[in-house]
């Protein structure tokens, strides 16, 4: 397969400007937003479609089933991180990003069109699992390639700021999913939402993914990849191979340690919390949706601010902030939130958790990208990250619902805190990645 090595803007070239960087970041981020909208639409609308794909039972059991399928989707993320990370290192970031959004479009369309359990029986959950496997494959590759692309096209000295837009668009995708949910809640009755209204969200996602698939075909390739590909005269060589990745065992271990606490905390405070407020706090579904929407809106604004701060003070201080505050305050925050029926109180408690998580989310992409050379960067960022997310992030809701089901819900709070503590130890012993970064060489 040929590699497009047309040169992008070179240093000193008039095209090499901040305006051009911004254009590349925007084009790289729009697809990221749509991909994560599709991914999070599942969690946002699970409270409505959980009864459509499984036999009728109690609400917690139905949510447990959908959480299990959510976890199954995560099992594909390591495969996606490997396949699309390897593809990005060998054939380009643009080609891999286009492929990932194509897979996401197919998964969303499957969920939108799959008949209910009452209509086709056991084939309903089977098709749901198949769709989530496709989406998991897509997201596993999207994170790695998007993180790599945004880090490589960013201006030196502003890489923390520009790479933070990965989580801006990632969270904006979740906000969009919540926004669609809120609009549909206003237009449709509860019965209509549970019967067919939730399908609208997945039709929107599939349509958006098709549009992005077309837009990404016109993206510029990153200068870093173009240079490496040109030096190898279009031949992949050792780019994107597991052998090349295993030549960096310390960096691989660092990605795992960096990710463990962050991914558990992120999925707890962004996806599980809405269901936690409804099931445990007794807050209504519409109120919980509004709380999530406004808290996540503030969270989006915080990302580039924290990313820019990391360009000035370094990455480790922000990681240490997340590690220390997450370890100390997760249990108290979750405990108080579980007994809070006030929407205003719940909002500020959720926001406090998201402020803590910002220390990780705003810079985790650039920190990982700064660990690896260009020839192995997408795979190095993607595979160990996806493995860690599959094991810990993908099972977060499943563990939380299981512990609630057996009467030990508070044990989950300590589990999250313990995972963050493990990452804190890594943050305290690692080097400052912004210094002597391969991205600057």
Residue partners of 284: CB distance under 8 A and separation at least 6: 278
The separation between the first and the last C-alpha atoms of the chain, rounded to the nearest angstrom, is 27
Residue bearing the bigger pLDDT, 430 or 60: 430
Q: Quick one: pLDDT at residue 418?
A: 96
H-type alpha helices, 2-156: 18-53, 59-75, 77-91, 93-113, 117-120, 123-153
Question: If 0-12 CB within 10 Å is exposed, 13-18 middle and 19+ buried, where does residue 174 land?
Answer: buried
In a domain, 17, yes or no: no
CA 347 – CA 337 distance, rounded (Å): 9
**Residue where the block lists tokens 């609208």:** 200
Share of the chain above pLDDT 70, in %: 91
Position 376 in a domain = yes
What pLDDT, in 10s, does the model give residues 316-350? 999 999 999 999 999 999 999 988 888 999 999 99
pLDDT at 204: 92
14 part of a folded domain:
no
Q: Can you give the pLDDT at residue 8? A: 46
Residue 148 lies in a domain: yes
CA nearest 399: which of 307, 264, 287, 309?
A: 264
Average the pLDDT over 178-205 and give the result: 89
Task: Indicate whether 114 belongs to any domain.
Answer: yes
- Give the list of residues 6+ apart from residue 213 with CB closer than 8 angstroms, or none: 98, 101, 102, 105
User: Which domain CATH number covers 152?
Assistant: 1.20.1250.20
What range does the domain containing 179 cover?
A: 22-440
What whole-number distance in Å separates Cα of residue 434 and Cα of residue 239?
23
pLDDT bin (cut points 50, 70, 90) of residue 57 is low
Residue 177 contacts residue 129 (beta carbons within 8 Å): no
User: With the C-alpha atoms ordered 268, 271, 272, 278, is the resulting torsion angle positive or negative?
Assistant: positive
pLDDT, tens digit (0-9, with 9 covering 90-100), for 68-122: 776 677 778 888 889 998 899 888 888 888 888 888 888 889 988 988 877 887 7
Does the pTM exceed 0.95?
no
Phi, psi dihedral angles at 403 (to 5 degrees): -65, -35
CA angle 181, 184, 186 (to 5 degrees): 110
How many domains, the chain?
A: 1
Q: Is residue 2 part of a domain?
A: no
């Amino acid at each position: 397969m040929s590699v497009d090595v047309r040169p992008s803007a070179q240093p000193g070239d008039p095209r090499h400007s901040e305006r051009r960087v911004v254009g590349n970041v925007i084009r790289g981020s729009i697809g990221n937003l749509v991909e994560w909208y599709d991914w999070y639409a599942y969690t946002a609308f699970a409270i409505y479609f959980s009864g459509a794909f499984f036999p009728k039972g109690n609400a917690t059991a139905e949510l447990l089933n959908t959480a299990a399928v959510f976890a199954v989707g995560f099992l594909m993320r390591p495969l996606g991180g490997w396949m699309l990370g390897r593809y990005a290192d060998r054939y380009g970031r643009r080609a891999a990003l286009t492929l990932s959004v194509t897979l996401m479009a197919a998964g969303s369309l499957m969920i939108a069109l799959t008949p209910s359990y009452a209509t086709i029986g056991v084939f309903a959950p089977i098709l749901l699992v198949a769709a989530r496997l496709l989406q998991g494959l897509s997201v596993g590759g999207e994170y790695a390639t998007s993180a790599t692309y945004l880090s490589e096209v960013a201006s030196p000295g502003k890489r923390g700021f520009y790479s933070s837009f990965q989580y801006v668009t990632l969270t904006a995708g979740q906000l969009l999913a919540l926004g669609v949910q809120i609009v549909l809640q206003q237009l449709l009755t509860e019965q209509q939402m549970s019967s067919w209204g939730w399908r609208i969200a997945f039709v929107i996602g599939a349509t958006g993914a098709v549009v992005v698939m077309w837009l990404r075909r016109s993206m510029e390739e990153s200068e870093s990849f173009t240079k490496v590909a040109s030096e190898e005269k279009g031949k992949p060589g050792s780019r994107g191979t597991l052998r090349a990745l295993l030549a960096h065992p310390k960096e691989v271990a660092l990605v795992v340690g960096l990710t463990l606490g962050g991914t558990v905390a992120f999925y707890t405070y962004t996806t599980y919390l809405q269901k936690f407020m409804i099931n445990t706090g007794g807050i209504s579904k519409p109120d919980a949706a509004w709380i999530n929407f406004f808290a996540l809106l503030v969270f989006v604004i915080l990302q580039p601010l924290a990313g820019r701060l990391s360009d000035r003070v370094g990455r480790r201080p922000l990681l240490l902030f997340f590690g220390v505050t997450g370890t100390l305050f997760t249990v108290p925050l979750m405990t108080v939130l579980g007994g809070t029926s006030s929407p205003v109180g719940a909002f500020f408690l959720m926001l406090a958790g998201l402020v803590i998580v910002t220390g990780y989310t705003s810079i985790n992409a650039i920190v990982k990208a700064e660990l690896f050379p260009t020839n192995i960067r997408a795979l190095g960022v993607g595979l160990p990250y996806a493995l860690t997310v599959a094991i810990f992030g993908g099972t977060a809701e499943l563990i939380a619902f299981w512990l609630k089901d057996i009467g030990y819900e508070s044990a989950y709070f300590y589990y999250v805190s313990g995972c963050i503590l493990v990452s804190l130890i890594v943050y305290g012993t690692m080097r400052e990645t912004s210094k002597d970064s391969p991205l600057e060489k």
